[in-house]
């Protein structure tokens, strides 16, 4: 008897169909973030990382150009089962040495990415880049009091949506575009209303054009380095904006207090917005972007994301760790997310529902605890085999070999 045969029979005894779980998990795309591969620097070379962001470490082998970044993503994709999308920022445009302002970028500057996506039978998501730019150096963009600066960022937002729309048309699948800006202040401002009014008006201008192949998302933030006391785009602000404008609400795991549970937020906000974009990272003590690990919170988040509103939650990675091998970081985080996705479909849902409906909370708790040690790994291994993806224990040597043959050449 193989380990999967045993696991299949074990789960069946509890009313769980492992074949159905593998099939369902294999149908859900995960958007992989390009910025893990180059420490969120892009190819513009116009500014340093700012706006409350920080990538720590200097592990050898960072991608220095688009060709290297695509090669690294190709390698990472071979280690991750399931359908994959790629999420880009505006500063991954390829301008061939020309200085193109962000408010003048078009999809022509992403032609190589579009071709790459087609060759990989993938799709592209997009992020407007409101940071790491001279006009964002003071921590304000769409809420900036200076009209000239604010208008630049509005134009950037407009052009970003058009680029995302072209991505969606090329792939035959809507492109999710995320709007996050670092706008805030280090100390407490006297006027906390006017900046939010400016942000609301600027966003309305960015979203004014109706584009059929775009799904718009807005992302809240807790705070950033140097912007600790006031965040214009707070959770409350974007809850109101997303619900009133019917946009996707982006919830980033690292943008909340460590004691908050993101899983509880998903069913709470879904009655009011058309959908949720999840940026999966790991906050450690403060607003930070660590590699996703297989925690109880991740299991709970995937359970709520996939079972309480199928098709209305979009999954994406968002972290950057330059202290470890960047391809390993992609693989570790993505594989953990996909394991948690599979686990969400392997819960004894029928038994749990019966216990809850009968007010038998003792049995419910017992089932929830027992499910934590169900033979998930055997089903996970089988899912990886079916997609010709390395099993746990097999993929890291692939990364080490790639580091030896490719990454070690980059100085």
Q: Is 224 helix (H, G, I), strand (E, B) or coil?
A: strand
Structure tokens at 108: 């022509």
Residues 126, 110: Cα–Cα separation, whole Å: 11
Question: What are the helix (H) ranges across 78-179?
Answer: 111-119, 147-171
Residues 378 and 38: their CA atoms lie apart, in Å, by 34
Length of the chain counted residue by residue? 411
Residue 52 gets the label, from left (phi > 0), alpha (psi -120 to 50) or beta, of: left
CA dihedral 7, 9, 14, 17 (to 10 degrees): 80
Q: What is each CA distance from 58 to 38, 150, 220, 292, in whole angstroms?
A: 10, 34, 29, 19
> Exposed, middle or buried by CB within 10 Å (0-12, 13-18, 19+), for 144?
buried
Q: Tell me if 312 sits within 8 A of 276, measured CB to CB.
A: yes
User: Which residues are part of the catalytic machinery?
Assistant: 180, 219, 221, 252, 255, 279, 287, 289, 318
Question: What DSSP designation does 220 have?
Answer: -
Residue found by looking up tokens 């214009």 in the block:
232
Three-class SS state of 206: helix
């Amino acid at each position: 008897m193989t380990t999967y045969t045993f696991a299949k029979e074990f789960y069946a005894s509890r009313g769980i169909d492992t074949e159905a779980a593998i099939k369902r998990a294999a149908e859900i795309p995960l958007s992989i973030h390009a910025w893990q591969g180059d420490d969120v620097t892009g190819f513009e070379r116009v500014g340093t990382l700012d706006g409350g962001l920080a990538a720590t470490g200097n592990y050898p082998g960072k991608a220095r150009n688009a060709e290297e970044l695509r090669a690294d993503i190709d390698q990472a994709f071979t280690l991750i089962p399931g359908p994959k999308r790629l999420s880009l920022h505006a500063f991954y445009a390829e301008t061939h040495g020309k200085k193109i302002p962000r408010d003048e970028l078009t999809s022509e500057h992403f032609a190589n990415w579009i071709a790459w996506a087609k060759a990989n039978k993938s799709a592209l998501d997009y992020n407007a880049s409101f940071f790491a730019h001279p006009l964002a150096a003071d921590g304000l963009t769409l809420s900036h009091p200076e009209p000239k600066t604010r208008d630049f960022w509005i134009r950037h937002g407009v052009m970003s949506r058009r680029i995302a729309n072209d991505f969606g048309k090329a792939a035959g699948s809507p492109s999710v575009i995320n709007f996050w800006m670092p706008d805030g202040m280090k100390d407490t401002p006297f006027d906390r209303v006017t900046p939010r009014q400016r942000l609301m008006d600027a966003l309305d201008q960015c979203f004014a054009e109706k584009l059929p192949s775009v799904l718009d998302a807005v992302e809240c933030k807790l705070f950033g380095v140097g912007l600790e006391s006031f965040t214009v785009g707070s959770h409350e602000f974007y809850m109101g904006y997303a619900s009133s404008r019917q946009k996707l609400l982006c919830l980033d795991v690292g943008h909340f207090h460590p004691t908050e549970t993101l899983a509880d937020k998903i069913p709470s906000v879904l009655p009011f917005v058309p959908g949720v974009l999840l940026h999966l990272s790991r906050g450690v003590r403060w607003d930070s972007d660590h590699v996703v690990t297989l925690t109880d919170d991740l299991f709970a988040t995937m359970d709520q994301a996939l079972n309480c509103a199928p098709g209305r939650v979009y999954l994406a990675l968002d972290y950057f760790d330059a202290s470890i091998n960047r391809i390993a970081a992609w693989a570790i985080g993505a594989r953990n997310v996909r394991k948690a996705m599979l686990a969400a479909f392997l819960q004894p849902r029928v038994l749990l529902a019966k216990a809850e409906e009968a007010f038998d909370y003792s049995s419910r708790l017992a089932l929830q605890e027992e499910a934590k040690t169900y033979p998930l790994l055997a089903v996970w291994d089988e899912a990886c085999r079916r997609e010709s993806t390395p099993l746990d224990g097999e993929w890291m040597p692939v990364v080490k070999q790639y580091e030896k043959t490719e990454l070690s050449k980059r100085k």
